[in-house]
Amino acid sequence: MQLDDLLTQVDNHRDELLTLVKDLIRFPTESPPARNTEEAQSFIAEKLREIGFSIDQWDVFPHDPNVVGTLKGEQPDVYQSLIINGHIDVAEVENDVGWTQNPFEPVVKDGRIYGRGTADMKGGLAGALFALQLLKDNGIVLPGDVIFQSVIGEEVGEAGTLECCEKGYKADGAIVVDTSDLAIQGQGGVITGWVTIKSPTTYHDALRRNMIHAGGGLYGASAIEKMVKLIEGLKELEQHWAVTKSYQGFPAGMSTINPAVIEGGRHAAFVADECRLWITVHFYPDENHMEIAKEVEDHLLKVSEADPWLRHHPPIFKWGGKSMIEDKGEIFPSLNINQEGKLVQQLTRAHSNILATKPQVGMSQTVTDGGWLGEAGIPTIIYGPGDLRNAHSTNESVEVSQLVDFTKVMLTFIYQWSHTKKEEL
């Protein structure tokens, strides 16, 4: 069967594609609260089995399993392998105020399909899965391996994709089918951290005058007041980065340090003996999250050296984490793509063949799990239906026509990539 005939079938089976999207939306996989993806992941696993994938399924957290399906190619040593990656969790719905329907009961209206996760990113998962189903139904046996990863926890920094990498899943290329409005994208990165100031001694607030007046005799300080100095230091570093750092495709000043949450003190009758600051740091695609963390640490330690009390009680740092729910921390590594690389070029051709125009190639203004795949040494790009205006929004939706186009592009790309010999790339 010719590829053009397969593409026609996407149109002919459009209703089946939409049914698959709806089936996924009906699983209420909000994160937070999370721990609720087991049923949805079992559904994905069964669909993959029907196509011929072997399944690896394991709990990252209780009732939140990863699913990885592997479809062995006929000549995997000769032809290119591919990872298709997406997350099954969706942004939380705190309440349904403003929604015109139940967020988990999808509807099609005026050329769009509505429901939580349509844009971010069950539409992408469904389109990629449906493309594989059509290949199977039409007897197409791929020469190269295809690995399909449906992971948990992306919405709250739970590194389901990192676990896939740690288990050793590799390929010659990877596509994260997350929200990109059918643009080919890399991304900057994000790391969160806790900065803690702690006094070795706790003092009654009546002794505060002894700390701040001549002859008081107490070498003490309020951890809250000292944290103010570090917050100012972070602002200075952020402004310095805005002047000295840049990356093509990003507006100036995209490397930011947000003092997001502050916790300090124990009671009004005590001088604050501890203060903790939760920060979020955004950085550019050509930067590494651990190097960025060190830049922040080095700067704050220099600020501390200039303070008589902080010099002897410097801040303590804790960076990242595997879950915003479990340990209040997350890391999204950056993803710097090679625009002249074969992965970008081949997907560009597939997109252009379907939409008769070249895709935009650039950088996402948000973050995905793609950075973990890139950090594992796998050439990776982000490419999926839906736009950021709809991701996480009330009445989230995606254009039906874009879902159909995406499915056609993925069908084309999977077929062509898998039929490309390794030495040709």
Catalytic residue among 64, 89, 172, 178: 89
Six-digit token string for 332: 């999204």
Q: What are phi and psi of 399, to 5 degrees?
A: -70, 130
Residue type at position 167: K
Residue type at position 198: K
Residue 283 bridge partners (DSSP): 189
Are 10 and 404 in contact by the 8 Å Cβ rule? The answer is yes
Residue 85 bridge partners (DSSP): 149, 176
How far CA 123 is from CA of 102, 116, 197, 364, in Å, comes to: 17, 10, 45, 18
Residue 154 falls in the annotated catalytic set: yes
* C-alpha span between 301 and 53 (Å, rounded): 52
| Cβ burial 257-286 (10 Å sphere, 16+ → b, else e) | bebeeeebeeeeebbbbbbbbbbebbbbbe
End-to-end CA distance of the chain: 25
Six-digit token string for 205: 């607030």
3-state secondary structure of 133: helix
Catalytic residue among 30, 64, 145, 154: 154
Residue type at position 214: A
Residue type at position 208: R
Total residue count of the chain as it appears in this document: 425
Six-digit token string for 251: 């507006």
Residue 59 falls in the annotated catalytic set: no
Are 367 and 161 in contact by the 8 Å Cβ rule? The answer is no
* C-alpha span between 118 and 90 (Å, rounded): 9
Name the nearest CA neighbour of 397 among 30, 20, 21.
21
To 5 degrees, how large is the angle CA 414–CA 137–CA 399?
A: 60
Catalytic annotation, residues: 89, 154
